Amino acid sequence: QVQLVESGGGSVQAGGSLRLACAASRYAYFNKYMGWFRQAPGKEREGVAVIYTGGRWTSYADSVKGRFTISQDNAKNTVDLQMNSLQPEDTAMYYCAVRLGGTPSEVLASSSYNVWGQGTQVTVSS
């Protein structure tokens, strides 16, 4: 069974930090493209960061470069998102996703991923 479970969301003031974790079942973790996406009210879901767990290759949205870091923990089958210098515009529901099969043509496009977690809320106040 393929399952993704997010944790670590919460509320923080601007300039603060949060760390999100995505726990994956073994089949959904190794040698997969896994990513974090976010969706704010009234906006489309956007890609934040992606990692290829088979080679630690990463990609980031321009809006989070230098502030967010995606990483993997092979012992725990988790993909984490360390978020620093958070701003109110980072407020959104954050989702973990994995692509089962093949290489995504657009790694930060939500349409490239076919299994999703339930999401975790991140709220940044000014």
pLDDT digits (tens, 9 = 90+) for 45-58: 999 999 999 987 99
- Flag whether pLDDT at 71 surpasses 90: yes
63 within 8 A of 43, measured Cβ to Cβ: no
Task: Locate 107 and state its tokens.
Answer: 């790694």
Query: What's the average model confidence in pLDDT over 86-97?
Result: 98
Residue type, 66: G
Amino acid at 59: S
23 in Cβ contact with 5 (< 8 Å): yes
| Chain-centre distance for alpha carbon 21 | 8
What amino acid occupies position 93?
M
pLDDT digits over 93-107, tens only? 999 999 998 899 999
